[in-house]
């Protein structure tokens, strides 16, 4: 979900957490996390991922929220206000490019979830064989026009919500629906664990094989952590601008990160036992969820009912994230291009639809948008955002903002050390390593 319209902001802590978690929790947790984990060999990836969520994700999330709350503006304006006459606002531009790239494939996958809602309603999973269920995914993935049509429908709904403002609608909605989604995934995980051969899936997920720890695993884990937490592109700066001074930014960030990690983990516990029980290749890529979950539904008492509810909720989880992505673009159009909200929404609807068309038609464009945005642009954005703190805000102002609710932040030194030194160095090393410059050194 995107930021509410009036600047009076979120009324309760739960409101902020639900809003930020609404952006964070989405297809990234249920669709992307399991497939990236599957491609990267399982448990070793999971460990690196969890490490990045805590060591880099939470500090970056805190930094974005505090920048937004201090400036009371969306990203580009926030950088301009806090660092006038400097080039920092260009960081906002990276966010805009990133939103465009992410949205263009995100809406395609969200379109698939709409298609799967339709398939659930027409009972396409009940009593179907594995081959038929696999065939369903091939039909949508290889049929660009079908994919594109569902995508346009989803993008249209997103644009309508962004156009009308989101505060009272989707935010209230999500507070009820996100817990229902959570409950359903737990239910699926339990059903999956009861499948014969479930144990192999758990071993894949939790028994690390460190020989699988390659450079690609590290880069993918960092990218996925940024993607899943919606950090590195300014969404959380916008949310921060609506957080009241009374709220504790550190504990809010920890709560959002935990909720996000928990949903990713439970989704994987639902998916991997089924992957092994059904003999599916864990490294099969973006189709993973769309083949395994219907497989579970087909073997479940009440599968018809649960599959409908599940896909409807997945569409909503995708919506609360896509709205936050489109809002970044629309805000850019309003603030920088001086367009009205209506014109800006229409303009970006068209641009995303065009890019989405190429993602729906050509899998290599889809993969390019997915990997380049998550693995490169988001970490670069995160790098610039953390550097902004020590270079522009400095220790004293940062501390004041983090302690504005009137309580001392006990881990301030650790936080500051991470964002000023450890996180930027780690991000640079990961990239340099990726380029092969350090081959033989480590
Ligand atoms: N975090 C969202 C998800 O996991 C995707 C997203 C990325 C949303 C970046 C906003 C910004 O689905």
Give 436's Cβ-side CA count (13 Å radius): 0
CA–centroid distance, residue 81 to ligand 1 (Å) = 26
What is the 8-class DSSP label of residue 212?
G
Q: For residue 438, report the distance from its CA to the centre of ligand 1, in Å.
A: 31
Q: What is the pLDDT of residue 4?
A: 43
Q: What pLDDT score was predicted for residue 432?
A: 79
- In whole angstroms, what is the distance from residue 377 CA to residue 102 CA? 10
Q: For 292, phi and psi rounded to 5 degrees?
A: -75, -50
Burial class (CB in 10 A: 0-12, 13-18, 19+), 91: buried
Atom of ligand 1 nearest to the CA of 322: 8
Residue nearest to atom 2 of ligand 1 (CA): 24
* Probe residue for ligand 1, chosen from 227, 237, 257, 261 as the CB with the greatest number of ligand atoms within 8 Å: 227
What separation in angstroms does the CA of 136 have from each of 125, 131, 142, 143, 439? 9, 9, 10, 11, 43
Q: Tell me what pLDDT residue 129 has.
A: 76
Nearest C-alpha to atom 10 of ligand 1 is from which residue?
Answer: 230
Longest dimension (CA), the chain: 65
pLDDT of residue 278: 85
Length of the chain: 442
The atom of ligand 1 lying closest to the CA of 325 is 10
pLDDT at residue 13 in the model = 66
- Residue 406 has which token pair? 């009137």
For residue 275 the two structure tokens come to 């992957």
- Mutate which of 1, 28, 99 to test ligand 1's pocket (most atoms within 8 Å of Cβ)? 28
Q: How far, CA to CA in Å, does 118 sit from each of 28, 307, 310?
A: 22, 10, 12
Residues 33 and 268 sit within 8 Å (Cβ to Cβ): yes
Q: What is the pLDDT of residue 12?
A: 65
Q: How far apart are CA 24 and CA 248, in angstroms?
A: 19
* Mean pLDDT, contiguous 10-residue spans, the chain (442 residues): 47 71 91 94 95 96 94 86 86 90 97 94 77 79 90 95 68 73 89 90 93 90 95 90 88 94 94 89 89 84 85 89 90 88 95 97 94 92 93 93 92 95 91 66 50
Q: Which of 373, 379, 179, 173 minimizes the C-alpha distance to 266?
A: 179
Residue with tokens 């491609």: 39
Q: Which of 21, 22, 24, 74 to mutate to test the pocket of ligand 1 (most atoms within 8 A of CB)?
A: 24
Q: Rounded to an integer, what distance in angstroms lies between the CA atom of residue 135 and that of residue 232? A: 37
Q: How far is CA 13 from CA 18, 345, 409, in A?
A: 8, 29, 17
Tell which one of 110, 257, 321 to mutate to probe ligand 1, the residue whose CB is within 8 A of the most ligand atoms: 321
- For residue 156, the CA-to-ligand 1 centroid distance in Å is 18
DSSP character string of 279-330: T--TT--TTHHHHHHHHHHHTSTTHHHHHHHHHHHHHHHHHHHHHHHHHHHH
The pLDDT, as a whole number, for residue 8 is 47
Task: Tell me how far apart the alpha carbons of residues 334 and 162 are, in angstroms, rounded to a whole number.
Answer: 13
Q: Where are the alpha helices (DSSP H) in 25-88?
A: 27, 33-39, 43-52, 58-71, 75-82
3-class state of residue 42 by DSSP: coil
Residues 191 and 196: their CA atoms lie apart, in Å, by 11
d(CA 29, CA 225): 10
Which token pair is 420?
């000023």
CA angle 332–90–61, rounded 5-degree value: 80
Three-state SS at 102: helix
Pocket of ligand 1 (CB under 6 A): 23-24, 26-29, 102, 227-228, 230, 233, 235, 321, 324-325
């Amino acid at each position: 979900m995107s930021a509410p319209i009036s600047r009076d902001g979120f009324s309760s802590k739960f409101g902020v957490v639900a809003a930020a978690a609404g952006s964070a929790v989405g297809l990234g947790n249920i669709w992307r996390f399991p497939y990236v984990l599957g491609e990267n060999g399982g448990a070793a990836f999971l460990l690196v991922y969890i490490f990045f969520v805590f060591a880099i994700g939470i500090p970056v999330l805190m930094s974005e929220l505090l920048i937004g709350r201090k400036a009371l503006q969306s990203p580009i304006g926030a950088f301009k206000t806090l660092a006038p006459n400097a080039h920092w606002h260009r960081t906002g531009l990276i966010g805009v490019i990133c939103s465009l790239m992410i949205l263009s494939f995100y809406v395609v996958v969200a379109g698939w979830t709409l298609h799967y809602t339709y398939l659930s309603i027409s009972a396409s999973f009940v009593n179907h064989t594995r081959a038929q269920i696999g065939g369903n995914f091939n039909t949508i993935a290889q049929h660009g026009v079908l994919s594109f049509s569902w995508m346009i429908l989803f993008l249209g709904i997103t644009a309508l919500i962004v156009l009308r403002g989101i505060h009272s609608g989707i935010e209230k909605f999500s507070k009820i629906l996100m817990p229902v989604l959570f409950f359903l995934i737990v239910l699926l995980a339990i059903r999956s664990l009861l499948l014969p051969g479930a144990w192999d899936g758990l071993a894949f997920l939790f028994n690390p094989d460190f020989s699988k720890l390659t450079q690609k695993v590290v880069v993918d884990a960092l990218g996925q952590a940024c993607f899943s937490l919606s950090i590195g592109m300014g969404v959380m700066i916008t949310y921060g601008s609506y957080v009241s001074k009374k709220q504790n930014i550190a504990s809010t960030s920890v709560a959002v990160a935990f909720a996000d990690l928990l949903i990713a983990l439970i989704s994987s516990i639902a998916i991997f036992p089924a992957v092994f029980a059904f003999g599916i290749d864990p490294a099969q890529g973006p189709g993973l969820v769309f083949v395994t979950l219907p497989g579970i539904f087909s073997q479940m008492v009440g599968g018809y009912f649960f599959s409908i509810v599940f896909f409807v909720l997945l569409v909503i989880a995708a919506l609360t994230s896509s709205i936050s992505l489109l809002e970044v673009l629309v805000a850019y159009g309003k603030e920088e291009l001086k367009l009205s909200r209506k014109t800006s929404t229409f303009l970006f609807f068209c641009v995303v639809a065009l890019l989405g068309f190429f993602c729906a038609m050509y899998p290599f464009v889809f993969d390019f948008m997915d990997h380049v945005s998550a693995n490169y642009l988001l970490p670069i954005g995160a790098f610039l955002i953390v550097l902004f703190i020590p270079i522009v805000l400095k220790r004293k102002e940062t501390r004041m903002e983090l302690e504005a609710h009137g309580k001392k932040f006990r881990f301030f030194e650790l936080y500051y050390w991470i964002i000023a030194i450890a996180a930027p160095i780690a991000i640079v090393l990961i990239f340099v390593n990726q380029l092969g410059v350090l081959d033989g050194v480590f």
